[in-house]
Structure 1
Amino acid sequence: MQDHRKLGRDLELFHSDPLVGAGLPLWLPAGAAARRAVEDYLHALERRAGYQHVYSPPLAKQEMYVRSGHLPHFADDMFPPMALSEHDAFVLRPSLCPHHAAVFAARGRSYRELPLRIGEIGGQYRAERSGVLGGLSRVRAISLNDGHVFCAEDQVHDEVVESLRLMRVAHEALGFSPSSFRLSLRGDGGKYVDDPGMWSAASSVLREALDTANVSYVEAPGEAAFYGPKIDVQVVDHAGRESTLATVQVDHFQPARFDLSYVDAGGARRRPVMVHRSVAGSMERLFAHLIEVHDGAFPAWYAPLQVVVLPVSDACAGGAFLRACRVADLRVEEWHAGSLGARIRQAAARKVPFVAVVGEREAAAGAVSLRPRDASALSGALSGALSGVLPVDAAVAGLRQVCDAP
C-alpha cells in the first residue's frame, strides 16, 4: 500500500497549489472522472433505497449555527463569520444537517411520509490547523456523501440497520473492507449537550442496531458528536493510521432546536428523530483510502480512463472502435505519440484497465486486439470475451458489461 499523495501526483488525480491554499485540493481531470463515477453510483444506490436528493448552499446565517448548537459547541472547528453588515453575518457550514432540517421544515409533514430520507453530496468546511492537513485525507473543503433520515422513534432502529446495510453494499462495490466499527459515546466536559436521558436512549438504539446487523464493535467514550452518539466506520492508511470514513448518528437534539414536527395518526404533533448517516464519507477521505487500497489501479467501473486505443500506425486509427466506445459512454482515449511499446508501457503506468491495439489486420477486419490490465480479475466468461482479437461490437459489448457500475 503506497501513500495516496505520491500516487495522486503520479496518476495526476489531484493537485495542491499554494496560491489556492493548504487543505484545498484541486481535482484534476482524471481524479474528477473517477469521483464523478463514484458519486453517480452512490446517488443511484441511495435512490434505490428511497432517498430524495437535494441541493443546499454551503453557507448560512450565523443564527442557524447558534440554533443548531454548532457555534456553542463546535466553534473552534469553524471558519469565522463573515459580516456583510452590522446585522447580517454568514458562516461557511461545518455540516449539512441544519440545511436538511430546513428541508424537512419547508412544509407540514405527516406520519405517512416517514421515514423521510434526504441525501446530498454537499460542501462543508472545517478550520483545520495547517499541521494536521495532508493530501486528501485531511482537508478544509469537504464534499460529504451525507444523508439525514427523519423518522418516528419506533423507526430509528430499522433505519440504522438499513444504513449499515447500505455501507456494506457500497464498500464491497468500491473494493474495500473497513478495519473496524466503533461506537462513539459521550465523554466528560462541556463539549456535549447536557441531556443524560437523550444520550442513554440514542446509545441503546445504536447498540441494538449493531447487534441486529451482526457487527462487532468497540466502544469509544469521548468520540461522540456534540449532539449524540454515533457508529464510526474505521479504515487504516498506508502508515497504519486509523481514521473514520463513514458514520451513523442518532440525534434528538437538533429536531428540538429547529422545532421540527409531524402529525401522527391521531392528529397530534410529534417530534421526529434525526438519523445522520454517511455511507462513504467525504469524497476526499474516501479517495485517499481508495487510491491506497487499489494502489491507484481502480476497478474498471470508476477508473478515470477505462480504455486506451493504440493504433499501430496512423493508417490504423481505431475510428470505428473509438466512436463505438464513446456511444457506449466508456471513458476512452486514442494515443498516437511514441512507439507502440512505449504507449503500452504508458498505459500500464497510468493503470488503464483495457488496452485496445489496432493493427492492419484488425483495421481491415473491423476488429481490435484487446488486452485487460488484469485478466485474472475477470470471471471465466468475461476473460475470454475481453481478451484477444475481437469484433468491434463484441469488444464494446463486453467492455460495457465490465465497466458498468454495480
Structure 2
Amino acid sequence: MSVDHRKLGRELDLFDSDPLIGAGLPFWLPGGAAARHEIESYLYELERRAGYRHVNSPALGKRRMFELSGHWDKFGDDMFPPMRVGDDDLVLRPSLCPHHALIFKSRGRSYRELPLRIAELGPMYRAERSGVLGGLSRVRSIMLNDAHIFCAEEQAGDEVAGVLRLMREAHAAIGLGPVSYQLSLRGPGRRYGGDEADWSRAEALLRAALKEAGVAYVDAPGEAAFYGPKIDLQVADPAGREWSLATVQVDHHQPRQFELEYANADGGRSRPVMVHRSLAGSMERLFGHLIEVHGGAFPVWYAPVQLAVLPVGAEQDAAAGDFARDALAAGLRVEVSHDGSVGARIREAAGRKVPYVAVIGAREAPSARVALRLRDGRQLDPMPQAEAIALISAVASAHSPELLPA
C-alpha cells in the first residue's frame, strides 16, 4: 500500500498549511524543520569539501534580468506578476541562475579562478495553478539546493563527472536510489537558446560523462532546459511513479546573454561554460519523496527526534532529566515523556517513528543505566547511559540507514 506524504507528514507534525497563508505555501513544523536542517547542513558541508563557495542572493530581480536570461519568454506565464517599485518592475525569481551569472560578473575573473563553483540554498517562486498544487510536491514557494559552475570549455566534462559522483554520495547518505538516468535533449516544436554548435558540444559532453560514470540512460527528446541539455536523475515513489530529483545541465546561452568573460592564459578574453546542478532538488519535493520512501521513519541522522526518554515513575524523573541533558549536549535531538503508562508512551514514540526509546526504571536509575528499545522492535540489554549516547551518536555521524553501528 502506497504512502501519501500529505497525510503522513501532517500526522507526524512535519509540515502543515493554512488558508490564510495560501495554497501551495506549506509551513514547516519543528520536527520537519529539524529534519530539513540536518539535510541542508549535510549538503552544505558536502559542497564545501568539494570546492564550492556559498553565496546568498535576493529572491527578487528586475524584469529586465529575466528577459536577458530567457526566463521571461519561457516561463513568463508561470511567474508572479511584476511589482512596480519606483521606476523598476521587480519580479519574484523562478530560478537562481541569473543571479549567479551576475555574481560571476561582479568583478574581473581569470582562468586561474576556474572552475568557480558557486552554491546556494535559495528561495524561488512559481505561480503554479491551484489545480496542480499538492502537499510538498507542487508548491509556489521553493527552497532549492542549487549551484552553478563557471569553467572553461575543456573543464566542463570533468566538472559534470564530478557532479555525478557527488550526487551518488549525497543520495546514498540521504537514503535515495536513482531508478534511471535521463539525457534530456531538444525536441521539435519548442524554442531553445544558443546555436547548433553549442548544443552539439553540450550533448556530446553529457554523453561522455554518462559513459565515464558507467550508468545506463535513456534519451528524452523535448525535455531539455531552454538554454541547454541536461542529465536528470529519476527516482520512483512507492506507487512506481518516476520523476526528476537531481539534475546537471550545460549552458552556453546565459554566459552569452550576460556577456560573461574571463582573462584566458593567452592574455585574451574567453567566455565560460555555465554548468547548472542540483544534488537534491528543492527541499519541498525532496521531503515529499523521503516521507513516502521511508514511511516517515527517517534514518537516525535526520530523524526529527532521535531519542525519547521514558522514566517509569516520578522517582526516575531526575535520572531521566540528567540523561536527556547529556544526550542533548552530545548533539542529539531528545525528548522526555512523562504522561501515561510506559506501554502507552512506547507506542506513542513508535507511532512518531522515533528511532530509540530509553526506559529508565528503578533498576536502571541508581546505576546510571538505560534500557534501549529500537524502532524496529528490538530491545537491548541495559547499558551505561554514556554508552547509549555513544551508540546513537555513532549511527548518526555515519549517516547510516541502520539502527546499530556496523
Please tell me the TM-score bracket, short chain as reference. Answer: over 0.9
Q: Which amino acid aligns with 1:155?
A: Q
Partner residue, 1:398: 391
Retained in 1: the 8 A contact 2:115–2:151?
Answer: yes
Partner residue, 2:214: 214
- Equivalents in 1 of 2:104, 2:241: separation in Å? 38
Tell me by how many angstroms 1:241 deviates: 2.5
Partner residue, 1:323: 325
Partner residue, 1:13: 14
Partner residue, 2:133: 133
Retained in 1: the 8 A contact 2:5–2:292?
Answer: yes
- Equivalents in 2 of 1:181, 1:20: separation in Å? 37
Deviations 1:139-162 (A, max 9, x none): 111111001000000010011111
Tell me by how many angstroms 1:396 deviates: 1.1
Partner residue, 1:380: none
Tell me by how many angstroms 1:55 deviates: 0.8
2:61 maps to 1:60: yes
Aligned-partner SS, 2:308: strand
Tell me by how many angstroms 1:242 deviates: 2.1
- Equivalents in 2 of 1:190, 1:373: separation in Å? 51
Partner residue, 1:116: 116
Retained in 2: the 8 A contact 1:302–1:405?
Answer: no
- Equivalents in 1 of 2:104, 2:281: separation in Å? 22
Tell me by how many angstroms 1:73 deviates: 2.0
Deviations 1:94-134 (A, max 9, x none): 00001111111121111111111111111011111111111
Retained in 1: the 8 A contact 2:321–2:336?
Answer: no
- Equivalents in 1 of 2:398, 2:92: separation in Å? 33
Tell me by how many angstroms 1:370 deviates: 1.2
Tell me by how many angstroms 1:56 deviates: 0.8
Retained in 1: the 8 A contact 2:186–2:222?
Answer: yes
Q: Which amino acid aligns with 1:403?
A: A
Match of 1:369 among 368, 371, 377: 371
2:243 maps to 1:243: yes
Tell me by how many angstroms 1:4 deviates: 0.9
Aligned-partner SS, 2:365: helix
Partner residue, 2:5: 4
Retained in 2: the 8 A contact 1:73–1:192?
Answer: no
Tell me by how many angstroms 1:240 deviates: 3.0
Show the 5 A alignment for 1:221-236. Answer: 221-236=221-236
Q: Which amino acid aligns with 2:364?
A: E
Deviates more, 1:200-209 or 1:230-239: 230-239
- Equivalents in 1 of 2:117, 2:161: separation in Å? 14
Deviations 1:150-191 (A, max 9, x none): 000001001111111111111111112112111111112343
Match of 2:380 among 378, 387, 405: 387
Partner residue, 2:403: none
Partner residue, 2:353: 351
Retained in 1: the 8 A contact 2:194–2:253?
Answer: no
- Equivalents in 2 of 1:238, 1:327: separation in Å? 37
Aligned-partner SS, 1:148: strand
Q: Which amino acid aligns with 1:63?
A: R
Show the 5 A alignment for 1:305-320. Answer: 305-317=305-317, 318-320=320-322
Deviations 1:293-332 (A, max 9, x none): 1111000000000000000012102122111111101000
Partner residue, 1:334: 336
Deviates more, 1:124-133 or 1:246-255: 124-133
Partner residue, 1:101: 101
Q: RMSD of the alignment, in Å?
A: 1.3
- Equivalents in 2 of 1:218, 1:131: separation in Å? 30
- Equivalents in 1 of 2:22, 2:133: separation in Å? 11
Paired residues in the alignment total 396
- Equivalents in 2 of 1:254, 1:218: separation in Å? 26
Deviations 1:215-240 (A, max 9, x none): 11111111111111111111222333
Retained in 2: the 8 A contact 1:371–1:388?
Answer: no
Q: Which amino acid aligns with 1:207?
A: R
- Equivalents in 2 of 1:6, 1:243: separation in Å? 20
- Equivalents in 2 of 1:239, 1:6: separation in Å? 15
Show the 5 A alignment for 1:147-166. Answer: 147-166=147-166
Q: Which amino acid aligns with 1:352?
A: V
Q: Say if 1:194 and 1:403 are closer, same or farther in 2 by CA, change over 3 A.
A: closer
Aligned-partner SS, 1:361: coil
Retained in 2: the 8 A contact 1:3–1:238?
Answer: no
Aligned-partner SS, 1:104: helix
> TM-score under structure 2 normalisation?
0.95
Partner residue, 2:273: 273
Retained in 1: the 8 A contact 2:308–2:335?
Answer: yes
Partner residue, 2:362: 360
Partner residue, 2:23: 22
Partner residue, 2:282: 282
Tell me by how many angstroms 1:346 deviates: 0.2
Aligned-partner SS, 1:239: coil
- Equivalents in 1 of 2:194, 2:261: separation in Å? 22
Q: Which amino acid aligns with 2:124?
A: Q
Aligned-partner SS, 1:321: helix
Retained in 2: the 8 A contact 1:308–1:352?
Answer: yes
Aligned-partner SS, 1:44: helix
Partner residue, 2:73: 72
- Equivalents in 1 of 2:233, 2:291: separation in Å? 18
Percent identical among aligned pairs is: 63
Partner residue, 2:52: 51
